[in-house]
Amino acid sequence: MAVTEIGRLVDAFIAAHGTKPSRLVRAPGRVNLIGDHIDYNGLPVLPVAIQHEVRMLVAPRDDGQVRLANVDEAFEPVTFELGPVIPARPAGHWANYAKAAAQALVTACGPIGGLDALVAGNIPQAAGLSSSSALVVASALALVDANALEIAPYALMALLADAEHYVGTRGGGMDQAICLGARRGTATRIDFRPLRLTPVEVPSGWRFVVAFSGVRAQKSAAAREVYNRRPRECAEALPILAEAAGLADEATWPALVARGTAGELAALAVSELEPPLDRRARHVVTEAARVDEAVTALRAADLAAFGRLMTASHASLRDDYEVSCPELDALVDLALGAGARGARLTGAGFGGSVVALADEATAAGIVSRWAQAYCRPRGLAGAVFVAVPSEGAGVSDA
């Protein structure tokens, strides 16, 4: 971060809290390259952390209060006590993400000391780039650091994945894990149950170009119910499929996926389940296979194969999982028309962003095609960027 920018943030912190900050916490957003809506089923995903991040200046306090300010005036200052039960604000309130982290740490570690914090950052909100989990992670790291808590990285990732259920969304563990565990220059294969992160280098000539559709999908508010319906549908489909596959004793998606090819399992889903559960299950089993194949393609630097998998993933999310929307479909089509090797919605969908894969020479053409044909007519400024696979969250001196 530029020295002038940190200087301005320090001044804003002093104005808000009347004291100097001692620590700076950074927590990046993410773009998921492939593997959406399968993390909550315990199946692997392949995201990258991006250059956009939450930044939080922090000063520990001697009491048990958390005092939060935000450089964006749309987000009111909030004070809360780190008691055993931390009451939530109304759904969608920004402070709930910090409270989610605080509640999980108090529950896991007992009484802890509070802090003053100022939140800033540049992750577009409700854009499918995980701004909310970045705030959960930043808040948690600030409290862990201020209290010198000792929590192993995998344990913290798992704790924060559960912690986010505080806001009412039944998400999986992808966002918190990549935010904490990403390595610069790599995509990360994340396996669950048990959690395991495997970095895979992104070839230097590959470009992941991202566009925000302008359709906001706030998972903790308006989009919460439609999002939560999908894990419920999967939970309904699983025992039926597991039984049909002779897996009654181990009715898990990973066990099911290990039982056959994607084609066999998709056929099983269609023969055993009623609509729409048949389509939902078909997405889950085929997407899991695409993640495996995508990791192989990434290791082999096979741009064409990786791109084909991305486009197939989008079709599955659109047609079988029904989490796309006309705007995301339009962005995908525009990218493919401009020479992208593949394109798909990224994250939860219902709005948010798309990611397209291109070689160095083609990336600029996709950026300008999106800008011209999609963003300009809708007055969307700054909605397109090339993702830089970035390092995970960290704490340093302010």
Rank residues 24 and 345 by Cβ distance to ligand GLA and give the closer one: 345
Among 114, 347, 389, 392, binds ligand GLA (CB under 6 A): 347
Among 44, 172, 181, 351, binds ligand GLA (CB under 6 A): 172
Q: Token pair 């931390």 is at which residue? A: 86
Find the residue with minimal CB distance to ligand GLA. Answer: 171
| Residue 175 engages ligand GLA in binding (rule: CB under 6 A) | yes
Please report, as residue ranges, which positions from 353 to 382 form the binding site for ligand GLA (by CB under 6 A). Answer: none
CA dihedral 266, 271, 272, 277 (to 10 degrees): 60
Among 171, 307, 342, 389, binds ligand GLA (CB under 6 A): 171
Q: Which positions from 202 to 241 touch ligand GLA by CB under 6 A, shown as an x/- string?
A: ----------------------------------------
Rank residues 117 and 291 by Cβ distance to ligand GLA and give the closer one: 291
Please report, as residue ranges, which positions from 22 to 41 form the binding site for ligand GLA (by CB under 6 A). Answer: 32, 36-37, 39-40
Rank residues 37 and 207 by Cβ distance to ligand GLA and give the closer one: 37
| Residue 178 engages ligand GLA in binding (rule: CB under 6 A) | no
| Residue 320 engages ligand GLA in binding (rule: CB under 6 A) | no
Rank residues 91 and 371 by Cβ distance to ligand GLA and give the closer one: 91
Please report, as residue ranges, which positions from 128 to 157 form the binding site for ligand GLA (by CB under 6 A). Answer: 130
What residues are labeled active site?
Answer: 175
